[in-house]
Amino acid sequence: MVRDAVLGMSDGLTVPFALAAGLSGAVASSRLVVTAGLAEIVAGAISMGLGGYLAGRGEIEHYASERRREAREVKDIPEEEEDEVAAVFAGYGLTREDVAPVLKALRARPEAWVDFMMRFELGLDEPNPRRAVTAALTIGVAYALGGLVPLAPYVLTAGIDSGLRGSIVVTSIALAVLGYVKGRFTGSAPIRSAVQTLVIGAIAAATAFFLARAIT
């Protein structure tokens, strides 16, 4: 859920921020920026949420498919599956003779054998059956919340220039904080992650702003 929230909020901060900055370089109405920004947030949240749902469903279906295949192989070609088990343990320096008791025990427990193959041969853990729905809601809500940050200054200020300046300040802070939190959870350097996230958002917004200004 943390990964999904970071994904949704990262895009939610960056895309509406770039849109608002781009429109600020092309129009003189804060109301138009807010209207377009809200429309983008709704569309983006739905799109990101559906993408998270489909990804979650894909994980569940992939796991189920691989489990059915492993169950067939354990039943139809147990000798080859034993060789694969032995190969897993060989990676830890154990010989076929060392793992013979394990092979015997697994033959007596087909379900446990399939569990072993899923985890140690394929590296797959069983997904939470609610994963798809949870991912969709988490990503979609995080995207919407993130998208409101760069638009807030346009709502609270009258001029588009002051709205843009306020949006730059609050969104930069939010991007840096988000990058720092992401770094803490992923194990990478938090400061570097904060800087990277901030730079990506700044590049996207600056490109949109100057492109819109050049076109108009």
Q: CA angle at residue 207 from 176 to 156, to 5 degrees?
A: 60
pLDDT of residue 86: 87
C-alpha 74/C-alpha 8 separation (Å) is 40
Residue whose pair of structure tokens reads 């072993």 in the numeric block = 116
Q: Which amino acid is at 204?
A: A
C-alpha 171/C-alpha 210 separation (Å) is 18
| Cβ atoms within 10 Å, residue 39 | 11
Cβ 136 vs Cβ 127: under 8 Å: no
Residue 216's pLDDT band (cuts 50, 70, 90)? low
C-alpha 124/C-alpha 126 separation (Å) is 7
Residue whose pair of structure tokens reads 């009258």 in the numeric block = 158
Residue whose pair of structure tokens reads 């840096």 in the numeric block = 176
Cβ 12 vs Cβ 145: under 8 Å: yes
- Each residue's pLDDT tens digit, 39-96: 989 998 999 899 888 888 888 888 888 889 988 888 888 888 888 888 888 888 888 8
pLDDT of residue 105: 87
| Cβ atoms within 10 Å, residue 130 | 11
Q: What is the pTM of this model?
A: 0.72
Pull the structure tokens for residue 178.
Answer: 């988000």
Q: For the packed helices 2-24 and 131-156, what is the interaxial angle rounded to 10 degrees? A: 30
pLDDT > 70 in the chain, percent = 99
Q: Which residue has the higher pLDDT, 54 or 1?
A: 54
Residue whose pair of structure tokens reads 């990058």 in the numeric block = 179
Sign of the torsion formed by the C-alpha atoms of 78, 107, 89 and 69: positive
Cβ 12 vs Cβ 146: under 8 Å: yes
Find the mean pLDDT for residues 114-141.
Answer: 85
Strongest mean pLDDT among 3-7, 63-67, 186-190? 63-67
